[in-house]
Amino acid sequence: MGVHQYFKSLSDLEKLYRCPGKFKFQEHSVASHSFKVTKIAQFFGTVEEQAGNKVDWKSLYEKALNHDYNELFTGDIKTPVKYASKELRDLFSQVEEQMSKKFVLREFPKEFQSIYLERFKEGKDDTLEGKILSVADKVDLLYESFGEIQKGNPESLFQEIYEESLMTILEFKEMVSVQYFLKEILPDMLNEKFIEHSELNSITKKIIKANLSD
Amino acid sequence: MGVHQYFKSLSDLEKLYRCPGKFKFQEHSVASHSFKVTKIAQFFGTVEEQAGNKVDWKSLYEKALNHDYNELFTGDIKTPVKYASKELRDLFSQVEEQMSKKFVLREFPKEFQSIYLERFKEGKDDTLEGKILSVADKVDLLYESFGEIQKGNPESLFQEIYEESLMTILEFKEMVSVQYFLKEILPDMLNEKFIEHSELNSITKKIIKANLSD
Amino acid sequence: MGVHQYFKSLSDLEKLYRCPGKFKFQEHSVASHSFKVTKIAQFFGTVEEQAGNKVDWKSLYEKALNHDYNELFTGDIKTPVKYASKELRDLFSQVEEQMSKKFVLREFPKEFQSIYLERFKEGKDDTLEGKILSVADKVDLLYESFGEIQKGNPESLFQEIYEESLMTILEFKEMVSVQYFLKEILPDMLNEKFIEHSELNSITKKIIKANLSD
Amino acid sequence: MGVHQYFKSLSDLEKLYRCPGKFKFQEHSVASHSFKVTKIAQFFGTVEEQAGNKVDWKSLYEKALNHDYNELFTGDIKTPVKYASKELRDLFSQVEEQMSKKFVLREFPKEFQSIYLERFKEGKDDTLEGKILSVADKVDLLYESFGEIQKGNPESLFQEIYEESLMTILEFKEMVSVQYFLKEILPDMLNEKFIEHSELNSITKKIIKANLSD
Amino acid sequence: MGVHQYFKSLSDLEKLYRCPGKFKFQEHSVASHSFKVTKIAQFFGTVEEQAGNKVDWKSLYEKALNHDYNELFTGDIKTPVKYASKELRDLFSQVEEQMSKKFVLREFPKEFQSIYLERFKEGKDDTLEGKILSVADKVDLLYESFGEIQKGNPESLFQEIYEESLMTILEFKEMVSVQYFLKEILPDMLNEKFIEHSELNSITKKIIKANLSD
Amino acid sequence: MGVHQYFKSLSDLEKLYRCPGKFKFQEHSVASHSFKVTKIAQFFGTVEEQAGNKVDWKSLYEKALNHDYNELFTGDIKTPVKYASKELRDLFSQVEEQMSKKFVLREFPKEFQSIYLERFKEGKDDTLEGKILSVADKVDLLYESFGEIQKGNPESLFQEIYEESLMTILEFKEMVSVQYFLKEILPDMLNEKFIEHSELNSITKKIIKANLSD
């Protein structure tokens, strides 16, 4: 009981793996996903600020850092379930909120309760910070699915996730940071050179030739 | 599309881990849990049959083997969520059933659809076979939580699971097989000898003494 | 001592990995293999029954569920060893049977001994159920090796396992369920679409184009 | 080359494990450690703010989020090495800074370079935010080592880490947030109840008795 | 075909885990076991040499390094099986030798065949080097089982392995190096201090008191 | 304190993974790397001896077995760091040597100290044995990187490691054993056949056709 329970719960997020029930070459925990999303949001905020938009940094960091904390209570429920019916999704959100609220009221001393109730709320609203979070969350998902495709994961789910992530990012195409991403970052990701096993032969010969002729 | 999708899905159950988001010394997949529950149900059925009760073996095996197949669609959602409200639990069951039904209608040829719709239904009903399944499911959970406690897992959740499992088993205390379990199996589980590190010293001395004096 | 030892042993099967000593992208335990084989046998039995053949379901489930239980005593010995000489294979089977028998006589109360001696016997006999087990065992092995090849495992062993499994399945080509497998399931497995990294570029462009022109 | 390299590098931090070369029951990556430190720093900042101290939130989040990013270049070098000689430690810091600088200049476009050079600098300075980072970093280390001790890790290193972390925290004992931690959080951590295997017997009996007498 | 196959096989030994089918806190591969046995044999050889005994170092290293290479062909078969009958054990040894011989004749060029046939032979003979190997193999097994007991593994198998290893070591009690081990090394192993969770409380209080009173 | 500490440290080398912070399909510990390098060095020594060169086997085995033991103290520091500046590399070597020396003086009894100080020294000198070690170390690294490329690791680092290893091996091209490696072993490695998923279709058809026409 108390803030200790909250600190201890952070470690549970290290044991909560994303996208359960599918073979992956590299697993990602909710803890490290949250880290990466916050770092990506930091970059997107920087781009917006340089373009002259006002960024509320305190709000942006709070949103990014805490955006999946509630999965502690519900787990990373499979996406198709969450969206199987609008009714379920709404009810699900309600339950999540109730459980989160109950946790805050039980574990946090009075003086911190309102602050943490606020922090654990859904952060993807219409503010600039909310929109950056929506995009950063999907950028990390895009990288996760790209990583699987690149390593040769035959599961078509990862192509679906890749496409779905990209389409969500494009919903925010009017944002300067999204335009930056599409123009400067995404092409580099797609241009990643692959090591072809078949090239090894010629590489090897070239190296041997160059070094034997010394 | 087709039965191949069904066969392939069995492997996804090997990647779906039970009780996500908690540190465990030994992980258990839904696939191996289903195996163990079926083996335990087989034993409980044998006890019932020897006591003169009629067991519908085909039904018992079907129930046990398939009892968690629907987690393929929903994941192993955290128990507290499922029971947070009766409304959610009911809706959740509905969604699970709908998704399972959709899967059967999409992947199975017509001639197998009614059979598999039946197989993927909730099997914990009031028949002897349904009751054996209810108990066998909890016996495996009891062993899983006992295993963690025995290995020194400090997480109090496992004591709660142990207690909750035992209480559910006791709800079926009128069954011969449950009485057998309480009288013949549970005491052996609790009497498991531990290796005390402190004993190693005296064990070692005894062995050395016995062997040096040859 | 007692049935508790039997229940506890089920968890050891979760720690016994198939095909030891070879790099695999996805490991499979004897426990989850047994689960999958029983599920596959269930489907094959259903096909046979629909074709008018009488299936002894109790026998089929017992055979499938227990077919690798004896590996508890011997481990998953490397196949080439087992078949290095007929003499060794025969002796090995004898030893396996002896150890299994000793276990049953030591751990099970008298009233269950004959039942479990029967259950732990080799089930791959000439009955319809024995033949379904032979095929289902190889179908799961086919899927396991296909999974490795599909993920890019360079070890030629998996192609050998794939070929050997297919050939064993074909030995039972007169069975209705095997014909069904060859005609309806295997082609779908082979037609699995791959995600080509090189396609990502055009997919991405198509999505961006479609969404930017909104 | 470009920001894509920076985004990609975040995933490398998921594969960089802390405290290499020692048996641990639970591994922690640099990515999830950074997440936890940022969450802890957020709480400490909140306590300070409530006590009337001014917190520069933007600075605090930047410091916490990026404080171990440079381990990307150097790995989590063993602490005894780092402190083997002051000369080595200083040189080591220089090299780390040079490599980090080189990375920023190579991968980031001009307009972001000064911002990221600043972000990847050592953040543990004498500002309130720098001190909160110093403490939060050690609080997470305290929890990590406590977790190992609690699970029964026999390696004395973890007691040393526990003690060293606590002593570093105490160097900041004049801070309100540290006082809060010592008074409200640490005692709860130490009072964690253990599940004693020996208690299971009596718990079990109590439950059975209560439920059988219904 | 060729020495490349031999080099490649070394990596398979990294995927061959010892003592399959039992829960362990720390897994050990045949590759790293071989490394540790060779290092331990090196120390035992040093002790013998200092006591004036002539050590054939080339032979000792060859024996230690290669002593489990043949498990490549047979896997780490469960000990109880190997010793279930003298007949099986003898046949098993024959098969192992045949497979090893076949491998050498198939993969190695003529000029290396006799050397490698010799290297892959059973090395535990009556020479000083053979006896050191017998002991070093068991010392590593003693450490492996001690490690499990120390970490709280409840499986009684590890106590049996501990006892059996110690007894085998004691069969060589006339050796100077074994006497050294019993007198100088084993007591230190047994005297390893444990961190008691219950001590943390007092340790913590002591540290806080000492540091707050500065 | 004592030789027990040395024996115990061998197990730490099993937990020290090479090339930290990069996604790998197969991890390699320092313990198993040391094993493989010693085995490879054994083969290279054999080739040299057959060519009439005198090999000091005791020295060769000592060098190979112990060549990475010092990583116990420093970890597998990232290569780019080690070579970032000559000054750092030199200082780093000094620190490594000091720590190793301190360990030997603290843990080993007097009579073994000079022997172990010698054994833990850098072994890659200009003797034949030192040169074999240099090459064997890189051959194993070549195999490790080849394994990743073969499995489809998209990380370009592994191609760099492959090339760098090959170039180091070529620095010793005047050695008979290196010439043997280049002529007889490397081509076989590069000629490894791949299983193409696309071939599975035709393989399957061929097998089915052959077996159905029986």
Return per-residue pLDDT of chain E as tens, 214 residues: 699 999 999 999 999 999 999 999 999 999 999 999 999 999 999 999 999 999 999 999 999 999 999 998 887 776 667 666 777 778 777 888 888 999 999 999 999 999 999 999 999 999 999 999 999 999 999 999 999 999 999 998 998 999 999 999 999 999 999 999 999 999 999 888 766 666 777 888 888 788 776 5
Return d(Cα F148, Cα A4) in angstroms, integer.
43
How high is the pLDDT of residue D113? 96
How high is the pLDDT of residue F73? 85
Residues with Cβ < 8 Å from E26, sequence gap 6 or more?
A: D23, E147, E148, E151, F11, F14, F15
Q: Is D17 helix (H, G, I), strand (E, B) or coil?
A: strand
pLDDT tens-digit series, residues F155-166? 989 999 999 999
Q: Which residues of chain C have pLDDT under 50?
A: none
Six-digit token pair at D1?
Answer: 């080359």
How high is the pLDDT of residue B153? 93
Run of H or E including C136: helix C128-151
How high is the pLDDT of residue A1? 63
The answer to whether the CB atoms of E80 and C98 lie below 8 A apart is no
**Does chain C reach chain F with at least 3 CB pairs under 8 Å?**
yes
Chain A residues within an 8 Å CB radius of F159: 195, 203
Six-digit token pair at D110?
Answer: 């001009």
How high is the pLDDT of residue D195? 62
Return d(Cα D156, Cα D123) in angstroms, integer.
30
Return d(Cα C104, Cα C114) in angstroms, integer.
9
Does the pLDDT of residue D214 top 60, yes or no?
no
Q: Which residues of chain A have pLDDT under 70?
A: 1, 79-80, 82-83, 194-198, 213-214
How high is the pLDDT of residue C206? 83
Q: Which residue of C has its CA nearest to E93?
A: C88
How high is the pLDDT of residue F195? 62
Chain B residues within an 8 Å CB radius of E156: 193, 195
Residues D60/D132, Cβ–Cβ less than 8 Å: yes
**Does chain E reach chain F with at least 3 CB pairs under 8 Å?**
yes
Six-digit token pair at F51?
Answer: 């060519």
Does the pLDDT of residue F200 top 90, yes or no?
no
Six-digit token pair at E157?
Answer: 């198998």
Chain D residue set in contact with E, beta carbons under 8 Å: 23, 25, 146, 149-150, 152-154, 156, 158-159, 162-163, 166-167, 170-171, 173, 182, 186, 190, 194
Does the pLDDT of residue F38 top 60, yes or no?
yes
Over range B54-68, report the average pLDDT.
97
Over range F96-109, report the average pLDDT.
91
Torsion angle in degrees (nearest 10) through CA of F28, F31, F37, F42: -140
The CATH number of whichever domain residue B55 belongs to comes to 1.10.3210.10
What does chain C come to in residues?
214
Classify residue C90 as exposed, middle or buried by CB count within 10 Å of its CB (0-12, 13-18, 19+): exposed
Chain B residues within an 8 Å CB radius of D193: 156
**Which amino acid is located at E177 in the chain?**
S
- Identify which of E151, E192, E203 has the shortest CB distance to residue D152: E151
Q: Left if phi > 0, otherwise alpha if psi is -120 to 50, otherwise beta: which for A152? A: left
Query: Which residue is it, tokens 């089915």?
Result: F208
The pTM for the full model equals 0.94
The answer to whether the CB atoms of B21 and A12 lie below 8 A apart is yes
- Identify which of C43, C50, C66 has the shortest CB distance to residue B3: C43
Does the pLDDT of residue F131 top 70, yes or no?
yes
pLDDT tens-digit series, residues D86-141? 777 787 778 888 889 999 999 999 999 999 999 999 999 999 999 999 999 999 99
Helices F197-212/C157-170 angle, 10° precision = 30
Return d(Cα A128, Cα B66) in angstroms, integer.
48
Number of domains chain C contains: 1
How high is the pLDDT of residue C211? 77
How high is the pLDDT of residue B144? 96
DSSP chain F: --HHHHHHHHHHTTS-BSSTTS--SS--BHHHHHHHHHHHHHHHHHHHHHTT----HHHHHHHHHHTTTTHHHH----HHHHTT-HHHHHHHHHHHHHHHHHHHHHHS-HHHHHHHHHHTS---SSSHHHHHHHHHHHHHHHHHHHHHHHTT---THHHHHHHHHHHHHHTTTTSHHHHHIIIIIHHHHHTPPPPPHHHHHHHHHHHHHHHHT-
How high is the pLDDT of residue E66? 96
Chain E residues within an 8 Å CB radius of F36: 10-11, 14, 31
Query: Which residue is it, tokens 């942006």?
Result: A60
Range of the domain at C190: 3-212
Chain E residues within an 8 Å CB radius of C77: 74-75, 77
Q: What is the ipTM of this complex?
A: 0.93
Residue F184 C-beta-side C-alpha neighbours within 13 Å: 18
The answer to whether the CB atoms of A170 and C212 lie below 8 A apart is yes
Classify residue D114 as exposed, middle or buried by CB count within 10 Å of its CB (0-12, 13-18, 19+): exposed
Please state, for a pLDDT cut of 90, what percent of chain B lies above it.
70
The answer to whether the CB atoms of D208 and B182 lie below 8 A apart is yes
Query: Which residue is it, tokens 């195999």?
Result: F143
Q: Which residue of C has its CA nearest to B180?
A: C3
**Which amino acid is located at E9 in the chain?**
S
Mean pLDDT for all residues in chain B? 90
Query: Which residue, among B5, A151, C159, A148, has the nearest Cα to F198 in the 3D structure?
Result: C159
pLDDT tens-digit series, residues C161-203? 999 999 999 999 999 999 999 999 999 998 887 666 667 778 8
Over range B133-143, report the average pLDDT.
97
Six-digit token pair at B165?
Answer: 């499992």
Six-digit token pair at E14?
Answer: 């990294």
pLDDT tens-digit series, residues D161-170? 999 999 999 9
Classify residue B200 as exposed, middle or buried by CB count within 10 Å of its CB (0-12, 13-18, 19+): buried
| ∠ CA A52-D41-B154, rounded to 5° | 140
Query: Which residue, among D17, D18, D24, has the nearest Cα to D152 in the 3D structure?
Result: D24
The answer to whether the CB atoms of F15 and D13 lie below 8 A apart is no
Chain F residues within an 8 Å CB radius of A193: 156
- Identify which of C5, C32, C40 has the shortest CB distance to residue B29: C32
Classify residue D207 as exposed, middle or buried by CB count within 10 Å of its CB (0-12, 13-18, 19+): middle
Six-digit token pair at B171?
Answer: 């709800």
Q: Which residue of F has its CA nearest to E40?
A: F7
